Amino acid sequence: MDDPNEHIMYLTKSSQYGSISHSHGDQNAFMLHAFGEPLAIHSGYYVAFNSTMHMNWRRQTISKNAILIDGKGQFADKDKFIAMEANGKIEAVEDHENYAYIRSNATNAYQYHVPYLKKFVRETYFVNNSYFVLIDTIDLEQPGKVDWLLHSLHEMKIKHQSFLLEGEKATLEGKFVYCSSGELEVNQYNDYPGVDLREIEGLPIHWRLQAQTNKATRHRIVTLLHPMKKQQPKYVSYFMDDQDHGLQFYFTENNKTFRIEVAKVY
């Protein structure tokens, strides 16, 4: 652990304290650093308490590697009672021989702005100390769209249902392996909506990838995230097997195959 150039760090949060006080609207969000470099970041800057950057961006879900539902995030304003109710929960943490697993639930965090949300659970698999598979489960009482967010210091290369983030030392390859409502519409932005840019004059604006689903009442999104050293590219292949009882996803790297099952959406 004394050499960050050789390690991968994945940090996720789902807290019983919600967005109160110094907490933000970031339940089920994550950050990812690898090989000495930040890749998936918490976007924006802390410039001053109550600044537009602080209140309209840094505290809000849109600045996190999280999701929006019909363009709305988690409650992250000043009402302390509502902020405590906008909480999350880590439901499982498991460490296996060839993978680690985290399941977190952020349903309550969205209830104020999205009262028709029934469930938002994010599962993370870290496979063979090499790559991540994220499974997002979102169930709604009425049809809605989901935006899957990822933030970076660098502009990303987008190609169909995949993206490539290239840093100075490391790269992050991302692939939307499956989305139950059809292919995602993947866009990239270099902006801070709602922020007075005079507050950050001279500072670079971070990049935001935003992948939007079609409208549906139930969403299942499977995402592959593969951090690599820039000079040592690797490859993870995958395929999906559609069985009567569920969807089987197979991921293979260096002749090692990992299987994940996802329940079908009807």
Show the domain range for 55.
4-262
110: left (phi over 0), alpha (psi -120 to 50) or beta: alpha
The total of structural domains in the chain comes to 1
Tokens of 247: 């969807």
* pLDDT tens over the chain, length 266 residues: 567 788 999 999 999 988 888 788 999 999 999 999 999 999 999 999 889 999 999 999 999 999 999 999 999 988 888 989 999 999 999 999 999 999 999 999 999 999 999 999 999 999 999 999 999 999 999 999 999 999 999 999 999 999 999 999 999 999 999 999 999 999 999 999 999 999 999 999 999 999 999 999 999 999 999 999 998 888 999 999 998 778 999 999 999 999 999 988 87
**Phi, psi at residue 149, to the nearest 5°?**
-115, 145
For the entire predicted model, the pTM comes to 0.95
> What gap in Å lies between CA 192 and CA 58, rounded to an integer?
10
Distance of CA 39 to the CA centre of its chain: 12
Residue 168's SS3 state is coil
CATH number, domain at 63?
2.70.98.70
Which candidate, 266, 66, 111, 67, places its Cα nearest to that of 181? 266
Other CB atoms within a 10 A radius of the CB of residue 188 amount to 16
For residues 114 and 227, give the distance between their C-alpha atoms in angstroms, rounded to a whole number.
Answer: 33
Asked if residues 47 and 61 have their Cβ atoms less than 8 Å apart, the reply is no
Identify the pLDDT of residue 3.
76
- Angle at the Cα of 212 (from 173 to 40), degrees rounded to 5? 35
Which residues, in sequence order, are bridge partners of residue 65? 30
Query: Which residues sit opposite 140 in a β-bridge?
Result: 117
